[in-house]
Amino acid sequence: MRKGISFTVSAEDRRRLDAIVADRSAPQKHVWRARIVLLSGDGHGTTAIMAATGKSKTCVWRWQERFMTESVAGLLRDKTRPSRIPPLARDKVDEVVALTLKAPPHEASHWTVRAMAKVVGLSPSTVHEIWKSHGLSPHRWRQFKLSNDPEFAKKLREVVGLYVSPPAHAVVLSVDEKSQIQALDRTQPGLPLKKGRGQTLTHDYKRNGTTTLFAALNVLDGSVISKNMQRHRHQEFLDFLNQIERQVAKDRKIHVILDNYGTHKHPNTRSWLARHPRWTFHFIPTSSSWLNAVEGFFAKLTRRRLKYGVFKSVDELKGAIDRFIAEHNETEAKPFVWRADPDKIIAARNRGFQMLESNH
């Protein structure tokens, strides 16, 4: 060994080094470092170690010295080296961030990596790293809508109260209609799923008509009452209410949570409601469809059955919807659980209005 390097390989160190050499999944750089130390411990000279490991003299000396000062742990760690690329100036980073927060001067809705790189004179990868480190994603947009309902808080608490603490001897139903569900057929048959390839669908399609699904989600047990109809006027809505009236036990009151669609407030609907005193309508605030529990069921129906479905006729589409709902009621229905705090929702809405006012 080089002058000034002296160590003894203990039994415990030898056991660990032998394990590294024998481990077939160990990084090769760890293996040859361990071999250098083992050969040194066995009394081999520098020339012999170089021949056995294929490493240079300075490399052998370096790892002998590392073992002498840091033991086995030092062989498994690489010391950091200064980057060949000088660090980016802080004012340049601030310039990229400031420009990103403004609209681009050219005709575009948002900045792209290459457009920003061209303006500030940096590489696209550097711009990407700056955006990543500052949590900026100019290409991403989130949709929102703040309810302008003057009775937002009152209606919110009323609906959440029905979810959290339903009245005794009553049924709570979340009601809505999913209109214009299209029976789409593909212009060519797709390929089935196989290893290494997903299923395929043609990008174009043939429209075979539409249907409207009226649905009522029972908050207490998660079951769904449904009916497919051609249109979604107040006449169809009243037909659906009559269907619910027939299916719900006569000794139960019925509380209905629904949105502010015109058919729900039509004069004929109000007259029907007056003739059925066990029914009570609870309207959610405007622009608050997320508050209606049945919307979650519609999302599941779309995601799991309609989005990639192929339907050659409206009747085939209706049959698929009816089977999905029947299967849901039989195997997946469970009570709806509301967890969000109304006070936090109201506070978030107020912050949203304050932010909009400050920005505009």
Taking residues 331-338, report their average pLDDT.
94
Rounded mean pLDDT, 113-120: 95
In tens, the pLDDT along 9-57 reads 999 999 999 999 999 999 999 999 999 999 999 999 999 999 999 999 9
pLDDT band at 299 (very low <50, low <70, confident <90, very high): very high
With a cut of 90, say whether residue 4 has pLDDT above it.
Answer: no
CATH homologous superfamily of 152-351: Ribonuclease H-like superfamily/Ribonuclease H (3.30.420.10)
pLDDT band at 80 (very low <50, low <70, confident <90, very high): confident
Share the mean pLDDT of the chain.
93
Residue 228 has pLDDT above 90, yes or no: yes
Query: At residue 253, what is the residue type?
Result: K
The predicted pLDDT at position 64 comes to 92
pLDDT score, position 295: 96
Q: Hey, where are the domains in the chain?
A: 11-75, 90-133, 152-351
Confidence band for 149, pLDDT divided at 50, 70 and 90: very high
Percent of all residues in the chain with a pLDDT value above 90, rounded to a whole number: 89
Helix (H) or strand (E) holding 152: helix 152-164
